[in-house]
Structure 1
Amino acid sequence: MIEQETQRPRRRRWPYVILTAATVTAVGVTAVLVLGQGGDAKADKGNQQTNSKTSKVLRSTLEEHEELSGKLGYSGKFDVTAAGGAGVITWLPKPGDHLGRGDAVYKVNDKPVPLLFGDKPFWRKLESGMDKGADVKILEQNLRALGYTGFTVDDKFDAKTAAAVKKWQKKLGLEQSGAVDPASVVVQPGAFRVSTVDALLGAPAQGKVVSGTGTTRTVTVDVPVEKQSLAQEGAEVVVNLPGGKSTKGKVTSVGSVAEKTEEQNGVGGGKTVIKVEVQLNEPEAVGKLDAAPVQVEFTSRRKEGVLTVPIGALLALSEGGYAVEIVQPDGSGKLVAVELGMFAKGKVEVSGSGLTEGATVKVAGL
């Protein structure tokens, strides 16, 4: 009934009310603002709505989002402990320093203790003629990564390995013994950022020296257990930063253990949450911000390939239901009844007979 075009001789009128974005919520139409009765669709200039514009019926993907609070930080946790060699600590890094392979983590008797990458610490002195082992391979992998050659990366410490160690020790200003003592190096899984310095200058080289985090910028979100379906590993999210900027990220870790958050200002009990970690696609977007509060948008609902129009294109019919006004090739208008689906970011999913992708619809101007 709605789809037929009104012709001037018949002057049939379809009463309707124009909807605007302000009158529609994300979950449906809640109220309307009466702007006037619609005349025939092919109206003359005197009856045209001078504040209307047009838009296309598009096939789009709609998403609804839920925003949760998060905190900027860095991935991972690193603890560096001195292996108990003789001497005192004479130099320490500063919080915020980034330490990579070969960098001095601290100094003992004014000699650097460099960082090597590996999955386990050295537990014995590494020297020529010793038994094969995974620790030898870790040392050789690091020597090769630091640019030293002339040996085979395997689990055997031979004279060629010792020669490479001597070259490395010379560059560090150490005694060129060709052997590596566990206390003379720090072995960690990778590069890290110093967060706290635990040791004191002049203290014996033993015990905890520094704590740190990884160098990858991340956001940690406490997701209430009842909303854990929002956080799927690999899912794309939007991170809204202080100051109005935003950047994209990806969920890289979803906790499996529920935790109780602390009370806020001593009032009320904490809530049960799971820890979710988000890695930023463009870490440089956050600049020097650290431990800053952010808002993370998770996709709560998604529909692909649906026909959409701006919310302002909807007309609430006095007889019930909704329509859009299609602009015909000759400039005339035709009201087409539509069924409403999902609402998201100023658009609404529509369906109905006579509605096609690419059609032009009138949109109420604001």
Structure 2
Amino acid sequence: MSTRRKVLGGTLVAVLTGGAAGSVWLAGAARPDSEGSAGAEVPTETAEVTRGNVAERVQVNGAFGYGTAYPVVHLGEPGVLTAMTAPEIVVARGGRLYVVANQPVRLLYGGTPAYREFAFGMSDGPDVRQLERNLVALGHDPDDRLTVDGRFSRATAAAVRRWQAAWGLPVGQRTGTLPLGRVVFQPGAVRIKEAQATVGATARPDQPVVTVTSTKPVVTAQVTPERRRLVKVGDPVTITMAGTAPFPGTVLAIGRTATAAAQSSESGGAATASPFEVTISATAPAGAGDVDQAPVMVAVTRQTHQNVLTVPITALLARAGGGYQVRLETDRYVPVEPGLFDSTTGRVEVTGELTPAQRVKVPAAR
């Protein structure tokens, strides 16, 4: 006798490949004895035999949000914080993050942090190249005189003055220079998470003013080491969140696990393996609102069988001598061979002498 076991949504399902097995129905469900007569009855109802798709899935808990939040620190001179951009607002290239002493601190794209004043005559550098690339992208080099080469030229200064004019500054304040702290470089657009300082307080150098996140929503989930082999990058998933219809996603990355430090010597506990963090791309359906860290259930699709006969999992009954069967509405028992179990839909693929639209008995809902 041999069995094949599947873990589905935290429920261990034994799929017979030979020999005897217990009933898949709830305890006390009817099943025939060796002569085929029914034993103790439980209340039943019927469900339809259908033809469709089933998928084997691994279910894990997760959270829908915008990834890890990180701080933006103030780089300029100390000053009173006079305005903040509201939480959940997306700030794109050239947009305002916060305001110190009535001077907006603006976002530009780039991987090198701002670390000095931008002015004509400064030494060349990658930070200058980033600034020039942003000025061109913002449309402040209409005559194509600016060369993006990391050298702060007169054309660079002219583009800065055009940008300052777009802010609404009077002519006398369009200097063509940007003091340290006037711009912040980030890899791309950011979403405001929350303020780290209060309007009216003093913003000081190297202190966080606001925390931001990515603008692209993701689902993060934890997968235990023993289930790691069941999930891989590229797997399609189905995400369920309260108040919305299920929506799709794709596994983007699986973080590495590390062995947690042994528990304190006082407890004498052994080291434990940390779970793997799984990152999943996802876009919530319309009407979900701007949610962050909302709990979700993630069903990772391992394999799919299409256009197969299916019955509710609870329709399966053990046969005397091994194998499975279903009980038709007419009380006739039909042997079946289970295939994929779909824990999300509660249905199982079956082969046997069944046709779509037949009805099988299942335990009645209570």
Q: Is the TM-score greater than 0.5?
A: yes
The structural deviation recorded for 1:176 is 1.0
Q: Distance in 1 between matches of 2:327 and 2:30?
A: 17
SS in structure 1 of the partner of residue 85 of structure 2: coil
Distance change (3 Å), C-alpha of 1:181 and 1:150: farther
The structural deviation recorded for 1:99 is 2.0
SS in structure 2 of the partner of residue 226 of structure 1: helix
Aligned mate of 2:58, from 65, 87, 107: 65
CA contact (8 A) 2:63 2:295 kept: yes
The structural deviation recorded for 1:324 is 8.0
CA contact (8 A) 1:308 1:347 kept: no
Q: Distance in 1 between matches of 2:222 and 2:75?
A: 36
Distance change (3 Å), C-alpha of 1:34 and 1:110: same
Normalised to the residue count of structure 2, the TM-score between the two structures is 0.69
Q: Which residue of 1 aligns with 2:42?
A: none
- Once the two structures are superposed, residues 250-307 of structure 1 have per-residue CA deviations (whole angstroms, 9 ceiling, x without a partner) of 222211133769xxxxxxx9983222222213464531333222222223x4254584
Q: Which amino acid aligns with 1:298?
A: V
Aligned mate of 2:295, from 271, 283, 293: 293
Q: Which amino acid aligns with 1:33?
A: A
Moved more, 240-249 or 162-171: 240-249
Q: Distance in 1 between matches of 2:238 and 2:358?
A: 32
Q: Counterparts of 1:69-218 in structure 2 under 5 Å?
A: 69-85=61-77, 87-148=79-140, 149-151=142-144, 152-155=146-149, 156-174=151-169, 175-200=173-198, 201-208=200-207, 209-218=209-218
CA contact (8 A) 1:137 1:153 kept: no
Q: Which residue of 2 aligns with 1:302?
A: 303
Q: Which residue of 1 aligns with 2:24?
A: 30
Q: Which amino acid aligns with 1:185?
A: V
Q: Distance in 1 between matches of 2:280 and 2:292?
A: 15
Q: Distance in 2 between matches of 1:54 and 1:198?
A: 57
Normalised to the residue count of structure 1, the TM-score between the two structures is 0.69
Q: Aligned residues, how many?
A: 317
Q: Which amino acid aligns with 2:290?
A: K
The unaligned stretches of length 5 or more in structure 2 are 1-11, 16-22, 37-44, 262-268
Distance change (3 Å), C-alpha of 1:173 and 1:247: same
CA contact (8 A) 1:71 1:219 kept: yes
The structural deviation recorded for 1:70 is 1.6
Distance change (3 Å), C-alpha of 1:246 and 1:363: same
CA contact (8 A) 1:65 1:298 kept: yes
CA contact (8 A) 1:90 1:109 kept: yes
The unaligned stretches of length 5 or more in structure 1 are 1-24, 39-50, 262-268, 327-333
The structural deviation recorded for 1:322 is 5.2
Q: Distance in 1 between matches of 2:349 and 2:188?
A: 48
Q: Counterparts of 1:325-344 in structure 2 under 5 Å?
A: 338-344=336-342
SS in structure 1 of the partner of residue 107 of structure 2: strand
